[in-house]
Each structure stands twice: as C-alpha cells, then as structure tokens.
C-alpha cells in the first residue's frame, strides 16, 4: 500500500521547507488510485495510466513527474519500486519572453494609474504600487503583503516569500519619499489595518485586482499588445527592473559574477540560474553577449 509511504515522503519534504500545496493532494490521489488496483509499490504502468488522466500533455507531464520524484524516494529503501520514464516530456515548457518597458512606458503607466477611476485613495494606491514594483523589482505578492512594520530605516523587509526566503530590499530616498506620501493619505482611510496597500473596501489588495488595474492603465497609454509580442503584466515591472540592472553590469568576469549574485539575492531568486535567464531573455542583453563571443572566436 502506497498511502503511508506517500505521507512519509510528504512529511520529509515539508520539513525541508517545501509547501507542496498542489503536489501533496496529487500524490495522495495517486496513492489511492494505485491502492485501489492492489499495487504494493510504484508500478510504471499504473503511474502512466494515472498521469494520462490529465487533460493536457503538460498536465500529464507534471503528474508523472511528481510520481517519478516520489519513486526515487521510495527506491532508496526498496528497489522493488519501479521508476517510470518521463514519457510525456518535460514538466515545464520554455519560459515566455518577458515584456520589457521603457522608462517612458513606466512613467506613463504610473501617471495613468494616478488618474484612473474615482478621485479616491485607489489612484494613489495603484500609482504608488506600480512605481514601487518598478524601482524595487518586488513580486506583486510580496508588495501587497507588506505591513507597516516591514518598512524600516534600512529598507523593506520581505518576509517568507517564494521558496520560504526572507530578505531586505533597500529603498532609494525618492522611493521612500513616495511611499511616505502614500502612507500619509492611506492612514486615515483604514487605520485599523496594518497592510501598506489597501483596497476601497479597506482590505488588503488581491493579485487579480492589481492585474485589472494594470491592464486598465496599460490600455490607457496604448502599450503594444499583439500576438507576436509578449503580453504586459504587473510582473513585467519586475522583469524590466532585472534587465535594467543587468544592463548596468560592470566589465570583468569577477565583477560580473558578483553583480549577478547580488542581483539574484536582491530579487529573492531560489537559484542564480533564474537570474542568468534574463541574459538570454531580451535582444538588448543578448546582442552584446553575441558580439563579444564573435570577437573572441575571431581572435579579437
């Protein structure tokens, strides 16, 4: 019976810091599926049949990938467990090309947010939020979870974000001044809620509300959005911050490495490879890399 072994596996991984919000229930369903067939261990054929219940090929690949990771764990104690092959392909497809905004795009976006909707705190909330995302590279989820106590003299304390990490994000004096102006407006509006950003209902912002406000502002300023280009989203502000930071990277192998590792820490990436992705994500950064490679190969 696989159910007890699955619980042991999930307990072990959660103690290592993994939340497993979707993977946990999924593996429990696999264990029930396998136990209903009388299997005593991981069976490749059963795993493939269960994974095939997914509606799409990517979903089937994810389901089978979860079983494969579990099977590796199970085989440590009992090699009789079979290890399925990833016959549905990789679990994750290629990352989409990011939408990079120009400095003028960001200025007009913030201005549009400050003029959108009724003359209420909503205008100040979204214009300040978009400006903060643009100048800090925060994730939307991190920004809307900020509380008053997270604003310190050293910067913003981002608590238990993605990958369970916390970090300190320094603030430029102009960003701090903008945040203080917003808080002066926001305090009388919802004095009993300690979230920095609040909605018109005096509650913390929701991600979908931020996305709606961003789409409205982007449509107002006419940001290009065609099938041949990536779609602008609030996360585009984070992508733009990362690309601009890499564009200012100093010359020299050691200095480039230090700059990239520092940026990776600043952004809260789980691995520095996630930061390297930006080097190949835009023509702006790929062009000088290609030119230097060509220069090196030709003996320059």
pLDDT digits (tens, 9 = 90+) for 263-273: 888 888 877 77
Query: Distance between CA 101 and CA 95 in Å, rounded?
Result: 18
Selecting among 108, 145, 238, 239, the annotated active-site residue is 238
The answer for residues whose C-beta is within 8 angstroms of residue 219's C-beta and 6 or more apart is none
110, two tokens: 């913030």
58, two tokens: 């990517």
Q: Does the annotation mark 287 as catalytic? A: no
- Is 158 a member of any domain? yes
Selecting among 60, 139, 186, 239, the annotated active-site residue is 139
Q: Per-residue pLDDT averaged across 7-26, rounded?
A: 85
In terms of residue numbers, what domain contains 262?
235-297
Selecting among 14, 162, 202, 219, the annotated active-site residue is 162
Query: Distance between CA 196 and CA 136 in Å, rounded?
Result: 16
In this structure, are strands 151-152 and 167-169 parallel, antiparallel, or unpaired?
Answer: unpaired
- Judged against a pLDDT cut of 90, whether residue 283 lies above it is answered with no
Q: Per-residue pLDDT averaged across 152-158, rounded?
A: 93
Q: Does the annotation mark 235 as catalytic? A: yes
Is 186 in contact with 124 (CB distance < 8 Å)? yes
127 and 157 share one domain: yes
Query: Distance between CA 107 and CA 117 in Å, rounded?
Result: 18
Q: How far is CA 54 from CA 29, 30, 85, 122, 171, in A?
A: 12, 12, 17, 41, 45
Of 281 and 257, more confident: 257
Is 178 in contact with 128 (CB distance < 8 Å)? yes
257 and 291 share one domain: yes
Selecting among 9, 99, 126, 278, the annotated active-site residue is 278
- Is 286 a member of any domain? yes
The answer for residues whose C-beta is within 8 angstroms of residue 246's C-beta and 6 or more apart is 259, 260, 263, 275, 278, 279, 285
**pLDDT tens-place string over residues 216-263:** 999 999 988 766 677 899 999 999 998 888 877 766 666 767 777 888
**pLDDT tens-place string over residues 106-151:** 999 999 999 987 778 899 999 999 999 999 999 999 999 999 999 9
Selecting among 62, 63, 186, 269, the annotated active-site residue is 269
- Burial call 128-160: b when 16+ CB within 10 Å, e when fewer: bbbbbbbbbbbbbebbbbbeeebbeeebbebee
125 and 175 share one domain: yes
Count of the separate structural domains present in the chain: 3
Instruction: Please give the share of the chain, as a percent, with pLDDT higher than 70.
Output: 91
- Is 85 a member of any domain? no
Which of 165, 198, 221 represents a domain boundary (last residue)?
A: 221
Q: Does the annotation mark 145 as catalytic? A: no
User: pLDDT averaged over the chain?
Assistant: 87
Query: Distance between CA 261 and CA 274 in Å, rounded?
Result: 11
* Range from 70-74, 157-161, 172-176, 228-232 carrying the lowest mean pLDDT: 228-232
217 and 243 share one domain: no
- Judged against a pLDDT cut of 90, whether residue 30 lies above it is answered with yes
Q: What is the pLDDT of residue 252?
A: 62
- Is 239 a member of any domain? yes
Q: Does the annotation mark 295 as catalytic? A: no
Q: What is the pLDDT of residue 286?
A: 67
């Amino acid at each position: 019976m696989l159910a007890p072994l699955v619980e042991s596996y999930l307990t072990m991984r959660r103690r290592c810091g993994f939340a497993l919000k979707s993977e946990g229930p999924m593996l429990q369903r696999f264990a029930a599926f396998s136990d209903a067939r009388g299997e005593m261990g991981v069976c490749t054929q059963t795993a493939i049949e269960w994974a095939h219940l997914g509606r799409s090929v990517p979903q089937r690949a994810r389901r089978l990938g979860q079983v494969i990771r579990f099977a590796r764990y199970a085989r440590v104690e009992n090699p009789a467990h079979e290890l399925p092959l990833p016959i549905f392909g990789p679990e994750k497809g290629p990352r989409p090309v990011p939408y990079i905004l120009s400095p003028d795009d960001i200025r007009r976006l913030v201005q549009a947010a400050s003029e959108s909707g009724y003359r209420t705190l909503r205008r100040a909330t979204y214009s300040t939020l978009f400006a903060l995302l643009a100048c800090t590279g925060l994730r939307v989820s991190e920004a809307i979870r900020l509380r008053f106590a997270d604003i310190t003299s050293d910067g913003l304390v981002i608590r238990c974000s993605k990958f369970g990490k916390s970090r300190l994000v320094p603030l430029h004096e102009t960003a701090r001044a903008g945040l203080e102006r917003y808080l002066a407006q926001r305090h009388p509006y919802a004095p009993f809620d300690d979230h920095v950003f609040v909605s018109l209902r005096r509650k913390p912002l929701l991600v979908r509300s931020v996305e709606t406000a961003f789409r409205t502002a982007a449509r107002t300023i006419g940001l290009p959005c065609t099938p041949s280009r990536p779609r602008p989203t609030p996360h585009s502000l984070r992508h733009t911050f990362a690309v601009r930071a890499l564009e200012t990277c100093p010359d020299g192998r050691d200095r480039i490495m230090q700059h990239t590792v520092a940026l990776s820490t600043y952004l809260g990436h789980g691995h520095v490879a996630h930061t390297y992705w930006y080097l190949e994500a835009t023509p702006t950064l790929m062009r000088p890399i290609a030119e230097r490679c060509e220069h090196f190969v030709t003996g320059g």
